[in-house]
């Protein structure tokens, strides 16, 4: 007999349990069940039961089986060597990384490693509570607010680190001095409040005053919000966005990757952190006519193993003198770059242009079509072979051939 329920809302909890049990019976390999006694890491006992997918190839396998050729493209697929392993792609033929074709240098990546007092800056666990590190971060933040027009976007490694740094900045007066120049908006875990803050941020940028948006990597803003044009002339990433290494879900995934794909824990953690860093910094460049400053504010980005994981379209514009920089030197470089980009310039049109208009594209296609229709003259090599053959002929045949 069918169970007839008048009000399904009264049975929502049992429906969730039924859906969860259905998932348990559907999937086996590549999945695991994780219990989290303290999911919010706040010390509050609020246990949760998770069915976690550890194998990314499960979702990608139907695509590979159905299609003969598959092309993956993205601006943050870096390093390329990791994806065939975790997606189960055994017959990869080509892995290529391309830069951006632009008419002028529209990117200015900077790696800031220390403050003017030569104290290294980093969000590493042993340095994140160091007063000198937070002070140097505050100096960098305050000077950028004074120098960067329009929108400034800052990303932190976690909500907890964002709250910790903001508390110190409030106490030292950094926030009060920043508010004299720009409004400050903060991303929270509440989606509605974050959406409202984003709308106000855009209005402040449209008014000409500019604004600052403080966000968190792996949050809503870092994943899908664009800060194109004047909404983001500079983006700063405070620290390296590693995952919370004590998470039971992450520990289970690391053990699975090590057992099935021979991927070391440090290799995957570095790959995931640099992929997330590229995701955050790429928010400010959304077209070929856009421009912006990208600041990696952590001494660990200067290491070779971190630099080679930065996508080529960013690393191409990274100058040798912009790797080991102090906070004040980075601000001067950002100011000079933005001043240069604000100057008027004559855009290249027609062939050789970075962006073709519809009319220019049509003209280019017509010229290509005319070139294919016109008969091509014999090449110099073909003409030389004809002369050699004429010389080998007897005189009577040569006159008839002529």
The pLDDT of residue 386: 53
Average pLDDT, the chain: 84
Q: Which residues contact 121 (CB under 8 A, 6 or more apart)?
A: 112, 113, 114, 115, 127, 133, 136, 137, 140, 297, 298, 299, 327
* Cβ atoms 269, 245 nearer than 8 A: yes
Q: Quick check: 385 pLDDT over 50? A: no
Predicted confidence band at 174 (pLDDT cuts at 50, 70, 90)?
Answer: very high
SS (H, E, C) the chain: CCCCCCCHHHHHHHHHHHHHHHHHHHCCCCEEEEEECCCCCCCCCCCEEEEEECCCHHHHHHHHHHCCCCCCCCCCCCCCCHHHHHCCCCCCCCCCCCCCCCCCCCEEEEEEEECCCCCECCCCCCCCCCHHHHHHHHHHHHHHHHHCCCEEEEEECCHHHHHHHHHHHHHHCHHHHHCCCCEEEECCCCHHHHHHHHHHHHHHHHCCCCEEEEEECCCHHHHHCCCCHHHCCEEEEECCCCCCCCCHHHHHHHHHHHHHHCCCHHHHHHHHHHHHHHHHHHHHCCCCCCCEEEEEECHHHHCHHHHCCCCHHHHCCCCHHHCCEEHHHHHHHHHHHHHHHCCCCCCCCCCCCCCCCHHHHHHHHHHHHHHHHCCCCCCHHHHHHHHHHHHHCCHHHHHHHC
Compute the distance between CA of residue 227 and CA of residue 367 in angstroms, rounded to an integer.
38
User: What's the pLDDT score for residue 378?
Assistant: 53
Two tokens, residue 335: 């100011």
How confident is the model over 319-336, as a mean pLDDT?
A: 95
Q: Mean pLDDT over residues 34-44, rounded?
A: 68
pLDDT digits (tens, 9 = 90+) for 181-200: 999 999 998 989 999 999 99
Q: How many residues does the chain have?
A: 402
pLDDT at 396: 55
Q: Which residues contact 32 (CB under 8 A, 6 or more apart)?
A: 51, 52, 54, 252, 256
* pLDDT: which is higher, 357 or 136: 136
The pTM of this model reads 0.81
Cis peptide bond prior to 79, omega within 30° of 0: yes
Q: How far is residue 321's CA from residue 188's CA, in Å, rounded to a whole number?
A: 36
- Given a cut of 70, whether residue 392 has pLDDT beyond it is no
Could you tell me the strand order of the sheet in which 325-326 lies? Answer: 183-186, 211-216, 151-156, 234-238, 292-297, 107-114, 325-326
Over residues 315-321, the mean pLDDT reads 91
Tens digits of per-residue pLDDT, 234-289?
A: 999 999 999 988 888 899 999 999 998 889 999 999 999 999 998 898 888 878 78
More confident position, 156 or 9: 156
Whether 107 and 314 have beta carbons less than 8 Å apart is answered as yes
- Checking if the pLDDT of 130 tops 80, the result is yes
Mean local confidence (pLDDT), 332-343: 93
C-alpha angle 26-31-37 in degrees, rounded to nearest 5: 110
* pLDDT average, residue stretch 350-358: 70
Which of 117-131, 246-260, 339-353, 388-402 is predicted with the least confidence, judged by mean pLDDT?
388-402
Q: Which residue has the higher pLDDT, 76 or 307?
A: 307
Alpha carbons 267 and 86: distance in angstroms, whole number: 12
């Amino acid at each position: 007999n069918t169970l007839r329920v008048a009000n399904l809302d009264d049975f929502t909890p049992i429906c969730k349990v039924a859906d969860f049990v259905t998932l348990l019976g559907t999937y086996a390999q590549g999945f695991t069940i994780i219990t989290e006694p303290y999911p919010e890491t706040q010390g509050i006992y609020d246990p949760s039961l998770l069915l976690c997918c550890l194998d990314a190839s499960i979702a990608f396998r139907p695509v590979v089986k159905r299609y003969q050729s598959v092309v993956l493209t993205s601006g943050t697929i870096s390093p390329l060597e990791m994806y065939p392993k975790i997606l189960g792609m055994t017959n990869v033929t080509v892995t290529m990384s391309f830069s951006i074709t632009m008419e002028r240098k529209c990117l200015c990546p900077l790696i800031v490693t220390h403050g003017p007092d030569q104290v290294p800056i980093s969000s590493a666990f042993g340095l994140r509570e160091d007063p000198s590190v937070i002070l140097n971060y505050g100096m960098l933040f305050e000077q950028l607010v004074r120098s960067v027009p329009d929108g400034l976007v800052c990303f932190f490694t976690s909500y907890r680190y964002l709250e910790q740094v903001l508390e110190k900045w409030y106490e030292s007066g950094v926030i009060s001095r920043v508010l004299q120049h720009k409004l400050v908006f903060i991303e929270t875990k509440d989606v509605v409040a974050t959406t409202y803050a984003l709308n106000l941020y855009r209005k402040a940028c449209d008014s000409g005053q500019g604004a600052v948006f403080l966000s968190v990597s792996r949050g809503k803003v870092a994943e899908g919000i664009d800060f194109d044009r004047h909404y983001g002339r500079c983006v700063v990433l405070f620290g390296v966005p590693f995952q919370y290494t004590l998470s039971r879900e992450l520990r289970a995934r690391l053990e699975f990757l090590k057992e099935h794909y021979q991927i070391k824990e440090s290799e995957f953690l570095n790959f995931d952190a640099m992929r997330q860093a590229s995701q955050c910094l790429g928010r400010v460049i959304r077209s070929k006519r856009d421009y912006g400053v990208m600041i990696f504010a952590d001494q660990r980005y200067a290491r070779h193993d971190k630099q080679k994981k930065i996508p080529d379209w960013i690393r191409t514009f990274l100058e040798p003198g912009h790797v080991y920089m102090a906070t004040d030197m980075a601000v001067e470089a950002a100011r000079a770059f933005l001043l240069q980009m604000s100057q008027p310039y004559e855009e290249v049109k027609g062939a050789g242009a970075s962006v073709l208009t519809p009319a220019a594209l049509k003209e280019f296609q017509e010229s290509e079509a005319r070139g294919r229709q016109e008969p091509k003259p014999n090449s110099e090599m073909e003409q030389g072979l004809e002369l050699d053959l004429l010389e080998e002929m007897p005189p009577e045949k040569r006159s008839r051939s002529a």
